Amino acid sequence: MLSLLERQIAAIEHRLVLLAPPDSHIPSYFGNVTSDETQHRRLVTDMQRLRGSVYLQDGAVTRHDLSSDGLHETPEDARSWHLLMRDEDGGLSACIWYLEHNTLPAFQQLRAQNCPLSRSYEWHDHVRRAVAAEVALARLERVRYSEVGGWAVSEAARCTTEGLMMILATFSLSRALGGALGLATATVRHSSASMLQRLGLSKLEDIPSYYDPEYDCEMELLRFDTRRSSPKYHDAIEMLKSRLSAVSVIVPEEAPVMAGAGARMPGMAISLARECLTLPSASAA
Question: Mapped to the 3 state alphabet, what secondary structure does 30-84 carry?
Answer: CCCEEECHHHHHHHHHHHHHHHHHHHHHHCCCCHHHCCCCCCCCCHHHHCCEEEE
Q: What is the pLDDT of residue 69?
A: 94
Q: Report yes or no: 85 and 14 within 8 Å, Cβ to Cβ.
A: no
The pLDDT of 210-229, averaged and rounded, is 85
Question: What's the pLDDT tens digit per position in 168-177?
Answer: 999 999 999 9
Task: Flag whether pLDDT at 283 surpasses 60.
Answer: no
The model's pTM: 0.85
Q: Report yes or no: 25 and 254 within 8 Å, Cβ to Cβ.
A: no
Task: Flag whether pLDDT at 271 surpasses 50.
Answer: no
Q: Report yes or no: 74 and 149 within 8 Å, Cβ to Cβ.
A: yes
Residue 81: other Cβ atoms inside 10 A: 21
Give, for 14, the enclosing helix (H) or strand (E). Answer: none
Phi then psi for 58, rounded to 5 degrees? -80, -10
Q: What percent of the chain has pLDDT over 70?
A: 87
Task: Flag whether pLDDT at 108 surpasses 50.
Answer: yes
Query: From CA 279, how far away is CA 32, in angstroms rounded?
Result: 29
Query: From CA 270, how far away is CA 180, in angstroms rounded?
Result: 8
Average pLDDT over the chain reads 83
Cα atoms in the Cβ-side hemisphere of radius 13 Å centred on 29: 18
Which of 113-122, 176-185, 210-219 has the lowest average pLDDT? 210-219
**Confidence at 2, pLDDT banded by 50, 70, 90:** low
Higher pLDDT, 55 or 191: 55
Query: From CA 21, how far away is CA 77, in angstroms rounded?
Result: 9
| Sequential DSSP letters for 198-229 | HTT-EEPTTPPPEEETTTTEEEEEEEEETT--
Cα atoms in the Cβ-side hemisphere of radius 13 Å centred on 67: 10
Q: What percent of the chain has pLDDT over 90?
A: 41
The pLDDT of 96-123, averaged and rounded, is 86
Residue 75 amino acid letter: P
